Structure 1
């Protein structure tokens, strides 16, 4: 009985805390303005990228810069992070 409670508690904790680990770069709503297609495969030109980035709230900009400075987080978003770095994302 005790083992069952531990397993159920661990599963509930994993379900609740899972979305907390998703970063700003993993949220489609944050990333959509930077792509030309709905599948988010083709990045917008730098002028449009910069306009979309500067239109975001400062908190989201800072969160994206922070994640792009983390090697593990930026790896799957290399092209995006290269553009953020070009806009002064390397603090």
Structure 2
């Protein structure tokens, strides 16, 4: 019984360590404040920039980041919390 408890604790600690180490891998491009900040006028990221400024900020990003954002915006589950942002991405040709 003691060995069983030790193994269970080890498995839980291992899973917790894995989740902590790989946690950033689960975060998407839309979850990163560094990626999203250029599209908003305020530090709280509540007010989006006008479309012309949005377009300039989007085009200034590396292509890999643009593609990651387009991909996440095409995923219905991922895009739901970012509906307004994703609508702008779609308007820029994000539905590839």
- Shared fold (TM-score, shorter chain, > 0.5): yes
Scaled by the length of structure 2, what TM-score is found? 0.92
SS in 2 for 1:41: coil
Rg comparison, structure with higher value: 2
Q: Separation in 2 of the partners of 1:82 and 1:54? A: 16
The match for 2:93 is 88
1:71 pairs with one of 52, 67, 76? 76
Aligned to 1:88, the other structure's residue is in SS state coil
Structure 1 gaps of 5+ residues are none
Unpaired stretches in structure 2, ≥5 consecutive residues? 1-5
Work out which of the residue numbers 11, 17, 33 in structure 2 matches 1:12. Answer: 17
Distance 2:45 2:12 in 1: 38
Aligned mates of 1:2, 1:32 — CA distance in 2: 44
Please point out which of 43, 47, 53 is paired with 2:52. Answer: 47
Report the count of equivalent residues: 91
TM-score between both structures, scaled by the size of structure 1:
0.97
* C-alpha separation in 1, matches of 2:22 and 2:36: 22
